[in-house]
Amino acid sequence: MKEFTIRPTPDDPRLSSTVPGLDHEGRKVDTVVVTERPLTLYLNAREIVTMMTIGDHPDLLAVGYLLNQNMLRADDEITGIDYDEDIETIVVRTKRKTDYEDKLKKKTQTSGCAQGTIFGDLMEEFAAVKLNPRAKLKTSDLYALTKKINTEPSLYLKAGAIHGCVLCKGDKPLIYMEDVGRHNAVDKIAGYMFLNGVKPGDKTFYTTGRLTSEMVIKTVKMGIPILVSRSGFTAWGVDLAQKAGLTLIGRARGKRFVCVAGEKRLVFDADLATVDVGEGKMRKGAAMEAGD
């Protein structure tokens, strides 16, 4: 795969708009804001959830959500994906008959960072996952990745109020997704990997958001052995990463980072005196807002 096979499209007029306001000195200013729109997901004939999303890549979001909620299995055959933009609905059809009526009530997944819903007994499956012990991440590759991601044009830099997630290999960012909830951005990548047969064992996952239990569970469920973030950790996220053997790296800003689990995968080969992380090109403020 080439670098940025999928990249953000901050100039897409569907994804943001401009609203008038006043700044701290009382002057009139125009502010770029990110769009939110509902997307109702059906699995075959069952209504599953209504998600708030920016609206790009609805097929990938739908498939990734179902995978990460244990509603699609790795060996499932998808026979169709039907998206109707006018009624904001997407239907994923599978060869296997599915029935989640007893388990589900109609749910709305908001863009709030803690609102990702988890269905089924994910923890049992989580405990059974074996991550690639031979995967490595060079610190030189980590610095190169963060520079490329941080300087890539994105809604994250343009407007804030959004999360970014990136599937990477070595020093190459491969798939860069954004959404108002980091769970949506993760699910889009999971959907892409499923539909395109991307193998996870040699990949790194980068996110702008906090390293919570949800982020750790989804990364492990996808089979990716290394998770990196600009932001910090939650205690349960760290505990789960240690139990799963996931390499967990947070507070990756500039030349600094902290690794709290899976340290054996790190290879310290970078000369910090010569590292250029490109922090000066970040739009000050947007990154802090989106990373919280």
Domains present along the chain, CATH in parentheses: 37-119 (3.10.20.10), 137-291 (3.40.140.10)
Which residues make beta-bridge pairs with 138? Answer: 267
Give me the phi and psi of 201, to 5 degrees please: -65, -20
Q: Quick check: helix, strand or coil at residue 66?
A: helix
Rounded CA-CA distance 228/277 in Å is 15
Q: Find residue 83's DSSP bridge partners.
A: 90
Bridge partners, 18 (sequence order): 32
DSSP state of 86: T
- Of 30, 36, 28, the C-alpha closest to 178 is 36
Nearest to 77 by CA among 213, 194, 221: 194
Distance of alpha carbon 206 from the chain centroid: 8
pLDDT in tens, the chain (292 residues): 899 999 999 999 999 999 999 999 999 999 999 999 999 999 999 999 999 999 999 999 999 999 988 889 889 999 999 999 999 999 999 999 876 655 565 555 544 454 444 544 566 677 788 999 999 999 999 999 999 999 999 998 899 889 999 999 999 999 999 999 889 999 999 999 999 999 999 999 999 989 999 899 999 999 999 999 999 999 999 999 999 999 999 999 999 999 999 999 999 999 999 988 776 555 444 444 444 4
| H/E stretch holding 17 | strand 16-22
